[in-house]
């Protein structure tokens, strides 16, 4: 038991393990994530419905979205942004590797009579001959990726953009990082059965990496028949570190905001959104 507990509480190297597929492709957890997406009153997998409406209104205005605009929504989930942008006239491609979420998105689009191209793929491996006027990655998905993965993604974005096209994405700020604290807890059926339909114990370790401005939520899920570990990494940014990352990958940062609804940037913000062009 001591050996197992020591392993549970071991701090891995930054981005040493990557298990995003466990959240999005496991049948049980994918259903849980979809239920979070569709809860319009909370900001968990998606933001609340009022914010999304306001955000899409700003995006349409800021980027001049009309029936000639090609939009790519990376990590589109159940299509909450994609559907609204299609209703505004955009030609939308949504990419996600949760089949469960995409099935919902496709059904919602069909019921609304919208022609949205939903692609089931890991967005790090997505390939297309299309060129886009706007590439979006919303709900701080960028923060879950390692530096190497972010470099790959930005290179892909650059190749997918039309001349004059833009990237819009959001990230968590250093202010959020400062508020995070390390902890170690365990609980029976943690998160109300999120991880399994059967009983389980979940050991949760929160680690901070001060130099890298990185946190890890490490979940050790112990069931009767198996034990598994899920790693939830989050990278945090300020204006300088985000601008440096974009510029090193061939982009020019045009604007910063406090969110993807166009709120003016301030130093106390918990998130920051960036508009960049290649």
The string of DSSP letters for 15-46 reads: T----HHHHHTSHHHHHHHHHHHH-TT--SSS
Asked, for residue 21, whether it belongs to a domain, the answer is: no
Asked, for residue 133, whether it belongs to a domain, the answer is: yes
User: Are residue 51 and residue 164 in the same domain, yes or no?
Assistant: yes
CA gap 214, 237 in Å, rounded: 9
Average pLDDT, the chain: 93
- Number of structural domains (the chain) is 2
Asked, for residue 15, whether it belongs to a domain, the answer is: no
Residue 33 clears pLDDT 80, i.e. is over it:
no
What is the percent of the chain with per-residue pLDDT over 70, rounded to a whole number?
94
User: Are residue 79 and residue 121 in the same domain, yes or no?
Assistant: yes
Q: CA of 225: how far to CAs of 1, 190, 196, in Å?
A: 17, 17, 12
Half-sphere exposure of 7 (CA within 13 A, CB side): 9
What is the percent of the chain with per-residue pLDDT over 90, rounded to a whole number?
86
As a whole number of Å, the CA-based R_g of the chain is: 19
Residue 99 clears pLDDT 50, i.e. is over it:
yes
User: Are residue 137 and residue 259 in the same domain, yes or no?
Assistant: yes
Asked, for residue 153, whether it belongs to a domain, the answer is: yes
User: Are residue 141 and residue 220 in the same domain, yes or no?
Assistant: no
Asked, for residue 260, whether it belongs to a domain, the answer is: yes
Asked, for residue 16, whether it belongs to a domain, the answer is: no
Terminal CA-to-CA distance of the chain, rounded, Å?
53
CA gap 265, 272 in Å, rounded: 7
CA gap 76, 95 in Å, rounded: 6
Dihedral pair phi/psi, residue 200, rounded to 5°: -155, 160
Spatial contact of 31 and 196, defined as CB atoms under 8 Å apart? no
pLDDT band at 24 (very low <50, low <70, confident <90, very high): low
Residue 126 clears pLDDT 60, i.e. is over it:
yes
User: Are residue 185 and residue 248 in the same domain, yes or no?
Assistant: no
Give the pLDDT of residue 43: 47
pLDDT band at 169 (very low <50, low <70, confident <90, very high): very high
Residue 9 clears pLDDT 90, i.e. is over it:
yes
Asked, for residue 22, whether it belongs to a domain, the answer is: no
Spatial contact of 94 and 117, defined as CB atoms under 8 Å apart? yes
Give the pLDDT of residue 31: 77
User: Are residue 189 and residue 55 in the same domain, yes or no?
Assistant: no
Spatial contact of 134 and 142, defined as CB atoms under 8 Å apart? no
What is the CATH number for 51? 3.40.50.150
Please give the average per-residue pLDDT across 129-149, as a whole number: 97
pLDDT band at 27 (very low <50, low <70, confident <90, very high): confident
Q: CA of 261: how far to CAs of 18, 52, 68, 70, 72, in Å?
A: 30, 8, 22, 20, 17
User: Are residue 160 and residue 186 in the same domain, yes or no?
Assistant: no
User: Are residue 54 and residue 82 in the same domain, yes or no?
Assistant: yes
Domain boundary (234, 252, 267) is at: 234
Tell me the DSSP string of 146-203. Answer: -HHHHHHHHHHHHHHEEEEEEEEEEEEEHHHHHH---EEEEEETHHHHTS-SS-EEEE
Please give the average per-residue pLDDT across 188-206, as a whole number: 95
User: Are residue 112 and residue 250 in the same domain, yes or no?
Assistant: yes
Residue 142 clears pLDDT 80, i.e. is over it:
yes
Pick from 11-25, 143-157, 246-260: least confident:
11-25
User: Are residue 244 and residue 226 in the same domain, yes or no?
Assistant: no
Please give the average per-residue pLDDT across 90-102, as a whole number: 94
CA gap 229, 218 in Å, rounded: 7
Asked, for residue 17, whether it belongs to a domain, the answer is: no
Residue 37 clears pLDDT 70, i.e. is over it:
no
In sequence order, what are the residues at sequence separation of 6 or more whose Cβ sits closer than 8 angstroms to the Cβ of residue 272?
A: 170, 171, 173, 237, 238, 239, 242, 256, 257, 258, 265
User: Are residue 148 and residue 207 in the same domain, yes or no?
Assistant: no
User: Are residue 202 and residue 253 in the same domain, yes or no?
Assistant: no
Range of the domain at 260: 27-171+238-277
pLDDT band at 29 (very low <50, low <70, confident <90, very high): confident
Number of Cβ within 10 Å of residue 186's Cβ equals 14
Give the pLDDT of residue 26: 76
Q: Which helix (H) or strand (E) holds 240?
A: helix 239-248
């Amino acid at each position: 038991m001591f050996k197992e507990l020591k392993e549970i509480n071991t701090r891995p190297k930054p981005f040493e393990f990557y298990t995003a597929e466990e959240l999005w492709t496991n049948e049980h957890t994918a259903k849980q994530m979809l239920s979070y997406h569709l809860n319009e009153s909370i900001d968990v997998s998606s933001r609340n419905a009022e914010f999304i409406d306001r955000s899409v209104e700003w995006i349409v205005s800021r980027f001049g979205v009309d029936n000639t605009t090609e939009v790519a929504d990376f990590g589109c989930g159940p299509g909450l942004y994609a559907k609204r942008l299609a209703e505004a006239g955009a030609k939308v491609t949504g990419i996600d590797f949760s089949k469960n979420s995409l099935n919902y998105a496709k059904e919602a689009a069909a019921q609304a009579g919208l022609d949205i191209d939903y692609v089931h793929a890991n967005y790090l491996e997505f390939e297309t001959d299309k060129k886009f006027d706007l590439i979006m990655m919303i709900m701080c998905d960028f923060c879950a990726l390692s530096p190497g993965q972010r470099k790959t993604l930005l290179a892909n974005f650059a190749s997918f953009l039309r001349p004059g096209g833009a990237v819009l994405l959001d990230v968590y700020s250093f202010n959020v990082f400062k508020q995070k604290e390390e902890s170690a807890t365990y609980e029976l059926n943690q998160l109300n059965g999120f991880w399994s339909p059967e009983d389980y114990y979940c050991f949760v370790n929160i680690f901070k990496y001060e130099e890298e401005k990185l946190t890890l939520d490490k979940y050790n899920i112990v069931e009767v028949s198996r034990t598994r570990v899920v790693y939830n990494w989050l990278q945090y940014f300020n204006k300088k570190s985000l601008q440096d990352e974009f510029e090193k990958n061939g982009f020019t940062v045009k604007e910063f905001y406090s969110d993807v609804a166009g709120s003016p940037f301030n130093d106390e913000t918990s998130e920051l959104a960036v508009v960049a062009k290649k």
